[in-house]
Amino acid sequence: AQSVTQLGSHVSVSEGALVLLRCNYSSSVPPYLFWYVQYPNQGLQLLLKYTTGATLVKGINGFEAEFKKSETSFHLTKPSAHMSDAAEYFCAVSGSLASNTGNQFYFGTGTSLTVIP
Amino acid sequence: ETGVTQSPTHLIKTRGQQVTLRCSSQSGHNTVSWYQQALGQGPQFIFQYYREEENGRGNFPPRFSGLQFPNYSSELNVNALELDDSALYLCASSSARGALAQYFGPGTRLTVL
């Protein structure tokens, strides 16, 4: 079974500071991992995904994440926070449906990022 | 390329009523998944439709049902609404049922009074 734990429901950083959002996963198979961002009153936008290959994944808006199998982690980072980064961030792991013919996402409970000017 | 659209944006219903939410998938996508996002929570998988058939279901009761049409648009129907059904309902489309990338619409905010 797959599951995701996001440590820290709220994170505050100063503008220009490092952003670090934590995600740990549990998966019985090699995981496919994702980070999504959700702005107020909007749907989810894909930031980046890890499937296979390089463990450091670069996404949009300067975000990146590193898959660490030994730590079962997929933390999201950005070197310098911008005011526009303030949003809700969700980590997700993809799992097969019971039919094995499709995929569903298992989401964490989200981390709300506040950027302080 | 048109993205995923959902209607209506907001909806208010009373307990016991029925509701239908609609989703138009992204151009070229034949698979639609529905998720329920309660306030302060991550989205929870409801079910997935592929080529007009249900392809998998999460832990939701039968009063949550769906349809997918030949143009791959989809409906989510919820009968006998309960207060706990109040949530943001998200539709996501993908190019195939096994595709890893799912593209989400803006959601429908349902309030049950």
Lowest mean pLDDT among A9-18, A38-47, B32-41, B58-67: A38-47
Count of Cβ atoms closer than 10 Å to residue B46 Cβ:
23
Backbone angles phi, psi at A84, to 5 degrees: -70, -5
Q: Report the residue of A29, A52, A104 to disrupt the B interface, i.e. the one with the largest count of B CBs within 10 Å.
A: A104
DSSP state for residue B25 in the 8-state scheme: P
At position A51, the amino acid (one-letter code) is T
pLDDT in tens, chain A (117 residues): 788 999 999 999 999 999 999 999 988 777 889 999 999 878 899 999 998 888 999 999 999 999 999 999 999 999 999 999 999 999 998 876 655 656 788 899 999 999 999
**pLDDT at A100 (0 to 100):** 60
- The helices-and-strands tally (H runs, E runs) of chain B is 0, 11
- Which of B23, B46, B47, B48 should be substituted to probe chain A, the one whose Cβ sees the most A Cβ atoms within 10 Å? B48
Residue found under tokens 């079974």: A1
> Given CB atoms, is B39 within the 8 Å cutoff of chain A?
no
Taking CA–CA distances from A95, the nearest residue in chain B reads: B100
Cβ of B98 within 8 Å of Cβ of A94? The answer is no
Give the pLDDT of residue A99.
56
Q: Which pLDDT does position A98 carry in this prediction?
A: 59
In sequence order, which residues have a C-beta less than 8 Å from that of residue A36 and are 6 or more positions away? Answer: A44, A45, A46, A47, A89, A90, A92, A107, B104
What confidence category does residue B80 fall into, taking pLDDT thresholds of 50, 70 and 90? very high
Residue B39 CA: distances (Å) to CA of A10, A69, B24, B84: 15, 31, 24, 10
Identify which of B42, B48, B90 has the shortest CB distance to residue A108.
B42
How many contacts, defined by CB atoms under 8 Å, are there between A and B?
Answer: 75
Q: How confident is the model at residue B101 (pLDDT cuts 50, 70, 90)?
A: confident
B20: pLDDT strictly greater than 90: yes
Residue B100 to residue A49, Cβ atoms within 8 A? yes
What pLDDT shows up at residue B81? 98
Q: Does the pLDDT at position B95 exceed 90?
A: no
How near does any CA of chain B get to the CA of A82, in Å? 23
| Chain A residues within an 8 Å CB radius of B48 | 97, 102, 104
Using the beta-carbon criterion (under 8 Å), do B98 and A104 form an inter-chain contact?
no
CB B106 within 8 A of CB B3: no
State the average pLDDT over residues B75-93.
Answer: 97
Q: Which residue has the higher pLDDT, B4 or A104?
A: B4
Q: Taking 70 as the threshold, does the pLDDT of residue B1 lie above it?
A: no
Q: How confident is the model at residue B56 (pLDDT cuts 50, 70, 90)?
A: confident
Question: Across-strand partners of A25?
Answer: A4
